[in-house]
Structure 1
Amino acid sequence: MNSDQIFYIIIAIVTWQFIFDQWLDYLNNKTVKTKIPEELEGIYDDDKYRKQQDYKKANYSFGVLSEIVSFVVMMSMLFFGGFAIINSWVTEMSSNATVQSLLFFAIIGLGSSIISLPFSIYGTFVIEERFGFNKTTPLTFVTDMIKSTLLSVLIGGPLMALVIWLYGISGDLFWLYAWMVISGFTIFMTMFYTSLILPLFNKQTPLAEGELRDAIEFFSSKAEFNLDNIYVMDGSKRSTKANAFFSGLGSRKRIVLYDTLIKDLKTDEIVAVLAHEIGHYKLRHTLWGTITGVIQMGVILFVFGLVVGSPLLSKALGVEEPNFHIGILAFGILYSPVSFVAGIFMTILSRKNEYAADAYANGFGLGSALIGGLKTISSNALSNLTPHPLYVFFHYSHPPLLQRIRAIKGNK
């Protein structure tokens, strides 16, 4: 196999991904049922259901345009040697391989941000605003963007520099040392993200004393779950949509409830949602998710370590001398079909875990309250109640509402 053949394989992969994603999006957009399934009746009245359908169509059209632009930019970079041009820039700026790679990805990241910025602005301040979800102010939007960029530079930059340095000194064992570094970083972020990174964007306060706290403490005593770390987050700062999540391991575990969730749901429904999140912890979903991610990363790095120095990969993108940044870029595209298949198994596992967490809450007699809470969350978010099964299979990390309700009720 020569570099030209690899180039056309890369073109084929990028094109196939684009066409496949567009096909799935089209199927999902065309799946419209005028009659809502019996178990979901009452979530939307006629006017709100029409609004939900309009929201779905607006997001579909917007998504198609965004994906077309991304596809055209990528194909232009490939056919007109854009990555080779950027590589020539960075080699002129510095003779240090690590600096070259950091500059390369900084330029790629900057270009990607510039292209995606108009879409981000339109999605937030036009679509989300039109349907009553947006609470983000222009100042918050700009501040978030600046903070995210700084975090990428201050955290992502040194981490990447370390990995590139390891590549230069460790030879065949590069993948192993890189795996150790990235795994350590992954575990650290799993444990400390909500206490170190999230506060830069959202305020978190311990759940106050009162009826809700009492109800949650009563449940937690039955579930034998320590409530030291349960927080309320000001999600309403950016959106009216409600959510809750669990993160961390061991003593660093933390449950976070959006303030919008507390506003929208009844006390027993909030307890049921909390029970679902506790179920993820009790069933070790967070732990096993971290372990699975670490194993996957090890496999990826092992394969990457075998091919990163291949001249064929670099030549496929128009660069004569192989280097780390061109190698990882070409490898990332070539590996994407494998990643796609692995992603299917991960989404299947994720949906299985969601069913299990629902069953955990249901085991405490909270099934009806959980169904009520899920219905309210879905209604307020204008969620699609009847997604296409294939779209669900490939993209949904959570089962659709109808399937969750049937599972909670014991129906198959």
Structure 2
Amino acid sequence: MKEASEKARLYNLDRSYFGFFREIFSICQKALIIWILLASILWNLSTQITYKYFGYQNEVVSTIMFFLLQTAISAVIDIPFSLYSNFVIEERHGFNKYTLKFFLWDTFKKFLVFQPIISLLVGGATYIIIRFEDQFFFYLWLFSSGTAIIFMVIYPSLIAPLFDKYTPLEEGSLRSEIERLATQIKFPLKNIFVVDGSKRSSHSNAYFYGFFKSKQIVLYDTLFDKDSPYFKKNQEEKAATTEESENEKSDSASTKKTDEKKATGCTEKEIVAIICHELGHWYHSHIFKNLVISLFNLFFIFKIASLFYNDTVIYHAFGFYGENNMPRFIGLTIIIETIFLLYFELYNFGMSIICRKFEFQADNFAKNLNFRTELINALIKLNKDNLSFPVYDWLYSLLLHSHPPILDRINALRKIDDKID
């Protein structure tokens, strides 16, 4: 236990040092962007590109080009940090499963997939602001809310499979127990999938998605313990497809190291307990409540931002001079990223408190269905496997963690048990 605690401490120290350095870099980067008026430079470049290839100026097209350039620059800047995070920190602690080739291809593919989506959203939002002017906030809110809901629907079934392989959970005792649980609480389960998260990392997860009467449960293959038939079958499939190149041998050695580090994984009963916790979020409508809060928050932000988006002082501060040089959607994003900084901190703090309450409710839901012991065991194993540090200062945790620390959750489960039984 002492050895596991020390490993978790060292891992979290590495993550904290890295996060601190990255935050300092981000602050310096933002200061440099403001100092050299990078936003106006990119905008001028965007208008030149638009005029060169289209023969006329168009604010919608120029704004799309602006964000294409911005996201491309951000992606390039982010690559060294992602490389260090995966191939130094995660590798050092036995979590990384990436090869360099796979990492670069994965990063490039994400960029290619999401750029058309970003372009459509930016183009639509810019058109709405131009079309409805001072009343744009309501229509932009409708557009943003609609696209957010659509994205929640299509992402798991259309976009996520582009990056990971989703395999239906084979027939067996685990599937039967999950289906029995779903029937017991009237959860509209359509299918259960296992995703090959182990090709990137050995971190574990489980979740469900879907609207109305068609919901799917997803289990990461890293969730299963070594005695699980699925784990053994998965390892056999990986061994059968491994190529005998030097790179693959190196990757195989890394995988073996990770498997040796992996403490336990979860038994089938513990996996069902984890699923029961997740279904507790559904039972208490936590996702719907979070969505409603987010949509009201979005409306508030757009409404307040609409009061300032035509203010020339803000545009001048970022290098946009002249009445005809006020790109409206870019101005709106600048306002949101600057004026709302303090508000976002308060909002995130409030949401963390709500999310922590939701976690306790979901734990209680699993406990009431007689999964208390299994859930406690699963939390301990996941905490150990993921090298999560169990002890935090209460104020630090309250400010920065959306989930309660494991000791708080275990103590709450035991107190609930004492109170009811």
**Is 1:387 aligned to residue 387 of structure 2?**
no
**Matching residue within 159, 169, 174 for 1:207:** 169
Offset of residue 356 of structure 1: 0.5
The 8 Å contact of residues 310 and 327 in structure 1, kept in 2 or not, is answered as no
Cα distance in 1, alignment partners of residues 354 and 94 from structure 2: 33
1:269 alignment partner in structure 2: 270
Cα distance in 2, alignment partners of residues 403 and 83 from structure 1: 45
2:5 alignment partner in structure 1: 49
**Is 1:260 aligned to residue 207 of structure 2?**
no
1:342 alignment partner in structure 2: 347
Tell me the secondary structure at the aligned position of residue 410 of structure 1.
helix
The 8 Å contact of residues 272 and 361 in structure 1, kept in 2 or not, is answered as yes
Tell me the secondary structure at the aligned position of residue 208 of structure 2.
strand
Cα distance in 2, alignment partners of residues 148 and 391 from structure 1: 33
The 8 Å contact of residues 52 and 384 in structure 1, kept in 2 or not, is answered as yes
Cα distance in 2, alignment partners of residues 372 and 344 from structure 1: 29
1:13 alignment partner in structure 2: none
Offset of residue 254 of structure 1: 2.0
> Relative contact order, CA 8 A, sep 6+: which one is greater?
1
Cα distance in 1, alignment partners of residues 197 and 92 from structure 2: 19
* Residue segments in structure 2 that go unaligned for 5+ positions in a row: 51-56, 226-264
2:334 alignment partner in structure 1: 329
Offset of residue 248 of structure 1: 2.4
2:201 alignment partner in structure 1: 239
Cα distance in 2, alignment partners of residues 226 and 379 from structure 1: 32
The 8 Å contact of residues 8 and 388 in structure 2, kept in 1 or not, is answered as yes
Residues 52-71 of structure 1: per-residue CA shift (max 9 Å, x gap): 22111211221222112111
Matches within 5 A, 1:64-75: 64-75=20-31
**Is 1:300 aligned to residue 305 of structure 2?**
no
Offset of residue 336 of structure 1: 1.8
TM value normalised by structure 1: 0.85
2:185 alignment partner in structure 1: 223
**Matching residue within 77, 87, 95 for 1:125:** 87
Task: Return the letter of the residue paired with 1:80.
Answer: I
The 8 Å contact of residues 176 and 298 in structure 1, kept in 2 or not, is answered as yes
**Is 1:142 aligned to residue 104 of structure 2?**
yes
* Residue segments in structure 1 that go unaligned for 5+ positions in a row: 1-44
The 8 Å contact of residues 249 and 286 in structure 1, kept in 2 or not, is answered as no
Percent pairwise identity: 33
Q: How many residues matched?
A: 368
* Structure 1 residue ranges, 4+ long, deviating more than 4 angstroms after superposition: none
Cα distance in 1, alignment partners of residues 116 and 34 from structure 2: 30
Task: Return the letter of the residue paired with 2:295.
Answer: V
1:157 alignment partner in structure 2: 119
**Is 1:198 aligned to residue 160 of structure 2?**
yes
Tell me the secondary structure at the aligned position of residue 94 of structure 2.
coil
Mean CA deviation greater in 270-279 or 222-231: 222-231
Cα distance in 2, alignment partners of residues 308 and 287 from structure 1: 31
* C-alpha RMSD over aligned residues: 1.7
Cα distance in 2, alignment partners of residues 190 and 271 from structure 1: 25
1:33 alignment partner in structure 2: none
Task: Return the letter of the residue paired with 2:407.
Answer: L
Matches within 5 A, 1:387-406: 387-406=392-411
The 8 Å contact of residues 301 and 336 in structure 2, kept in 1 or not, is answered as no
Cα distance in 2, alignment partners of residues 333 and 295 from structure 1: 20
Cα distance in 1, alignment partners of residues 384 and 189 from structure 2: 29
Offset of residue 252 of structure 1: 3.4
TM value normalised by structure 2: 0.84
2:213 alignment partner in structure 1: 251
1:166 alignment partner in structure 2: 128
**Matching residue within 28, 38, 43 for 1:87:** 43
Task: Return the letter of the residue paired with 2:33.
Answer: M
Task: Return the letter of the residue paired with 1:81.
Answer: L
1:28 alignment partner in structure 2: none
